[in-house]
Structure 1
Amino acid sequence: MRTEKLIKTMNLRKIILLPVATVIVICSFVSCGQDRWPEYAPRIALDSWIYDVMQENYLWYNQMASQEDLNLFLRPAEFLAKAKISTDNYSSVDSIRPIPLPVYGFDYSLVRNPDNDTAYNALITYVIPNSPADVAGLKRGNWIMKVDTSFISKKYEAKWLQGVDMRRLVMGKWTQIEIEPDPGEEEPTEPVYEYKVLPTKDTLDLGVAAIVEDTPIHTYKTLSLKDGSEVGYLMYNSFTAGTNHEPEKYNDMLRAISVELSQKNINRLILDLRYNAGGSMDCAQLLGTLMVPPSFLDQPMVNLKYNDKNTAKDKAITFDQSLLGSGKNLDLTTLVVLFSSQTAGAPEMMIFGVNGKIGKVVGIGNSTKGQNVATERFVHEDFGWAVNPVVCTIVDAENKTYGSFQPTFAVSNASTDYANFLPFGDPKETLLSKAIEYMETGTVVTSKTSKTNGVTAPLKIEKSVKSPASLRFAKGLQIK
């Protein structure tokens, strides 16, 4: 009887607890007599929409967590991180109404000042054309030692170098100096040198920050070789077709460059993709079409393979002759690609597509990231958000894909060879000089250490910073 009574009591508690739990959930949306459902409903709806899009289009939809196991109150990026598979580093969400920020327009790396434990020197690694930094005269390879009258400290580095106010920059120079022996030490038989950033008398006035546009085509030119022949050089930082107002603006710039190179009968190109982190498949298709021999026009470049719900979307991407428009097919015989660990997505697809079709494709630099999948953008206008799930794999005609591209000639010191850390397009710049060496001799002499005149550079990069304006380009490989 006692056991029977206990069971009845437990069942009664369950019956009572269920309504109580329901009341607690309802009360969580009604606080102090105020209905908070309108505040939470859109957040639930946005995450639910993201999940539905992923379930239909995501390449690995069948490995996703179930919706019942996910928290629909998370911010979009947090929700996506929980919903996608753990090995997916490419799917993303973003606002479709980004607000451009005023910037100075340069990237830099911080190197500790060996003569001052609390100070850094800033090495300029990239300057956006027509930005306040460019107008002030800053160039890649310049060193900033002071801002106004102060050394660059860890505490104020971001405020000074990423701020908005006018600044006076005290410049330095990478200099070889002879090391004097300490008192009592034996005089060396040969001079011993080291390198330091030493102050110069130069100062630059950096204007107030401004909203600037970083263009994918950073620079291009023709370079003369020792035998009198010419090759083309193009630094291409993003596979981006154009702007909202001019959708083909940058593609048309590529076409114009192809015409100029064609008129000079240049069929060898150095393509600098070391800062290129991705972009649109359409642009990769255009660039490949501009470069390959004419016999490959309208032939397959790569194939797209979707999930089992979307096999009807599987298709071949061709070297489409109609994309040439006002441009010219260059019929390249040699393509030297400069790449790095930042090179990912669209440039990798382009390399995969043209390899084996252009006579010689040579890589110089460091290994690429290794992204062989593409994302597609799905937009919810009402919420002002977009989700970019991985939707397909890139394969060739034999259904084979690719991983990280390894350089034909590895150059590991491109970011620390300070003596030759020069503006892009300068023939003496580390990676470009190696590309020119290959064009002239058919090979490259590489070194794993950062040396100049037999002296190893002692400095180490402790932090690298990119301008928000140079980060606006799409990453990876996107399908429009």
Structure 2
Amino acid sequence: MAGFVLTLSSCNKKVDDVSPQTTGTTSENSTIDNWILENMRQVYYWNDKIPANPDTTLAPSDFFDSILYSFDATLRPDGDRFSWIEENATDLTAELSGQTKTTGMEFTLYLRTSGSTDVIAQVLYVLPNSPAEQAGLKRGDIISKVNGQSLSTTNYQSLLLGDATTYAFGMAQVSNQALVDTDVTKTVTTAVYQENPVFLDSVYTIGSKTIGYLVYNQFVPAPNGSNGTEYDNQVDAIFSKFKAQGVNELVLDLRYNPGGYTSSSANLASLIGKGVDASKLYFREEWNATITPELQKEYGSDFFLQKFSTKAQNIGGNLSRVFVLTTDWTASASELIINGLRPYMTVTTIGTTTHGKNVGSITITDDTGKIKWGMQPIVFKSFNSLGQSDYATGFTPSVEVEEPITLYPLGDTRDALLNAAIGQITGAGASSRLGATQNPLKALGSSIQRKAGGSQMVRPIKNLNL
């Protein structure tokens, strides 16, 4: 396995020197495709399913797709839904660290009415000091037009999810239980923005219950370009505060968290778990049969084990349970929290069924700089300390609550999901709450699906040379 190098959250395989090529030529495609193929045959979780003689003249993105063991509900229900490739490895690593060119807001797309082709976008949250916040956009706002064009099923992708730099958002509002366009337009110009995943924290005291609440939107240890743990340290500080204030119930809001680095997931779990320390298993990884013996030989069996950390800020001693708020976009490292903590305490999920991603990836780049592409292939499946990994179709909520069309600010106790959690904690939430909050509009998707590939569990790996 000569020349295989994994560094911090990346896997770099050296290639032979190649002379400069014209972009997109068959020769260049072949060079890049063979680099892709060599790496994938080594680390891809389904490497035994890669075609024997794939066409290495294809454009790299097409070639990458052609060798995947792609998911098919009937033919390949155990297949790959998550591997992806990008033309610029620098952009890939930036996205995984929360840095993107963005308006600074995330939104859900809905059909405006049943059977219609009209579409609206509802703002889920707005990042602080972002262009969207500066334009006055806020959670719950409804967008019906972009640059003067009404949104529809045929144009919303190009209008909202294209490469534009300036957007004039035409606003709508709910009036007498109907959506009505207004004359209000809010103009936003995109900017490169580093998102802090630690969005909001609060403490609520209700009777004998001191409830800690954290909105955490991506598992990222530090800003792009940093090798530190600045964001993990912020999470530590929040739990230090929770501990000092005597928090005895916890609501973890992962409804908009599509995943991220397993190291940050382990850090957060280590602050919550009851009776956990560095001797206890958070999860283990199962890699393919080709690379497993090589990794075992070089690094020992501990390579595949992610233990908890012993954290002074851990509040598990005051908790018997944790409540996790979920939606369809709760994925990967977020689901790892649910699965990894269940052997140690009661985990109650509130919201809608999670995405269903029990596999993880690494970032592969070429450290010679000859190839600019970066890829994020699935390389392992995760299992908790009880050997459980049965959530490929998502975690069904313990208490089902859909987000309504009227949204309150995150952290407002009137928010449907937070209110349901508080009801469960205080005993005011009866079983009748199950399905109580229904949204009549049909969801088409969310901008969160584009966030770092949509749903990632990324293993940060240092100094792996085989």
Give the alignment's TM-score, normalised by structure 1.
0.74
The 1:58/1:221 distance shift into structure 2, 3 A limit, reads same
In structure 2, give the amino acid aligned to 1:196: A
SS at match of 1:212: strand
Written as runs of structure 1 = structure 2, the 5 A alignment for 1:139-154 is: 139-144=138-143
* 2:335 maps to 1:348: yes
Cα deviation, residue 296, structure 1: 4.2
The 1:152/1:410 distance shift into structure 2, 3 A limit, reads same
Partner of 1:282: 263
In structure 1, runs of 5+ residues without a counterpart are 1-34, 178-194, 452-456
Cα deviation, residue 160, structure 1: 6.6
The 1:164/1:361 distance shift into structure 2, 3 A limit, reads same
Distance 2:118 2:49 in 1: 49
Partner of 1:266: 247
Instruction: Answer yes or no: is the 8 Å Cα contact 1:148–1:170 preserved in 2.
Output: no
Distance 1:458 1:398 in 2: 39
SS at match of 2:192: coil
Query: What count of residue pairs does the alignment treat as equivalent?
Result: 407
Point out the more displaced range, 257-266 or 215-224: 215-224
Instruction: Answer yes or no: is the 8 Å Cα contact 1:147–1:168 preserved in 2.
Output: yes
Instruction: Answer yes or no: is the 8 Å Cα contact 1:289–1:329 preserved in 2.
Output: yes
Partner of 2:66: 82
Distance 2:383 2:395 in 1: 18
SS at match of 1:445: helix
Instruction: Answer yes or no: is the 8 Å Cα contact 2:281–2:308 preserved in 1.
Output: yes
From 56, 64, 83, the counterpart of 1:91 = 83
Instruction: Answer yes or no: is the 8 Å Cα contact 1:294–1:329 preserved in 2.
Output: no
Distance 2:248 2:284 in 1: 27
Partner of 1:18: none
Identity of aligned residues (%): 23
Instruction: Answer yes or no: is the 8 Å Cα contact 1:92–1:388 preserved in 2.
Output: yes
Instruction: Answer yes or no: is the 8 Å Cα contact 2:29–2:57 preserved in 1.
Output: yes
Distance 1:429 1:305 in 2: 39
In structure 2, give the amino acid aligned to 1:164: T
In structure 2, runs of 5+ residues without a counterpart are 1-20, 71-78, 461-466
Written as runs of structure 1 = structure 2, the 5 A alignment for 1:46-445 is: 46-66=32-52, 69-86=53-70, 87-94=79-86, 95-98=88-91, 102-111=101-110, 121-144=120-143, 163-165=164-166, 167=168, 169-172=170-173, 174-175=174-175, 177=176, 195-198=177-180, 203=184, 205-225=186-206, 227=207, 229-246=209-226, 247-309=228-290, 310-311=292-293, 312=296, 314-315=301-302, 316-321=305-310, 324=311, 328-331=313-316, 332-358=319-345, 360-381=346-367, 382=369, 383-397=371-385, 399-403=387-391, 404-411=393-400, 413-414=402-403, 417-419=404-406, 421-441=407-427, 443-445=430-432
**Larger CA Rg, structure 1 vs 2:** 1
In structure 1, give the amino acid aligned to 2:213: Y
Cα deviation, residue 198, structure 1: 4.1
Instruction: Answer yes or no: is the 8 Å Cα contact 1:240–1:473 preserved in 2.
Output: no
SS at match of 1:55: helix
**Bigger RCO (CA 8 Å, 6+ sep):** 2
SS at match of 2:433: coil
Distance 2:178 2:434 in 1: 21
Instruction: Answer yes or no: is the 8 Å Cα contact 2:108–2:445 preserved in 1.
Output: yes
Cα deviation, residue 124, structure 1: 1.9
Give the alignment's TM-score, normalised by structure 2.
0.76
What's the CA shift string for 1:33-84, capped at 9, x where partnerless? xx98994333212211221112222222222211xx2111222332122212
The 1:390/1:170 distance shift into structure 2, 3 A limit, reads closer
In structure 2, give the amino acid aligned to 1:328: Q
CA RMSD of aligned residues (A): 3.3
Instruction: Answer yes or no: is the 8 Å Cα contact 1:108–1:466 preserved in 2.
Output: yes
Partner of 1:19: none
Cα deviation, residue 277, structure 1: 1.4
What's the CA shift string for 1:301-335, capped at 9, x where partnerless? 222222233230643211122xx4xx611123220
Partner of 2:16: none
